[in-house]
Chains A and B, each alone.
Chain A
């Protein structure tokens, strides 16, 4: 079983719609959860971080964490073509070592 799992996609949504990206993790001791955006050939860029159960909103982005279900998601409202990228879910434990999922490719159609 992979430690951090994501659907590889591609997830295709029309411009202006809500994109929903999901991630599950296997280590119940995980303490920190991150969403990174990665454009092709570029390094990851931090989008959101979340540490406790519930929702965390930042502009058009909302991260949701459910530790009981070992599930973290990212919602992108009013999706734009510029949001098209691979979104990486990363999970951390007691140290700063992060385990990354394989990423979900999001394609926002104009």
Chain B
């Protein structure tokens, strides 16, 4: 069965520092991988997605993610965090006809 783990429940970074959020998945075939962001009081918004091809994927708001098949990982990165990036981040894996979300990582940004 497919599953998604996000090892870090909560991360705090200083504004301007780099960020990496970890995601590991379990799926038998080549997965569809997503990162979504949820700002306080709002629904989820897609940051980026990977289906095939280049393993480094660019998304909105300056985020990128790298697919590493050998490690079953799809980590999200940003070189310089802004205070407005404080939110909940969800990694997700899509199979044939549904998407399973990870537990989320809460990001706090210190000014």
Decide whether A and B are members of one complex. no
Residue numbers of B with Cβ under 8 A of A are none
Residue numbers of A with Cβ under 8 A of B are none
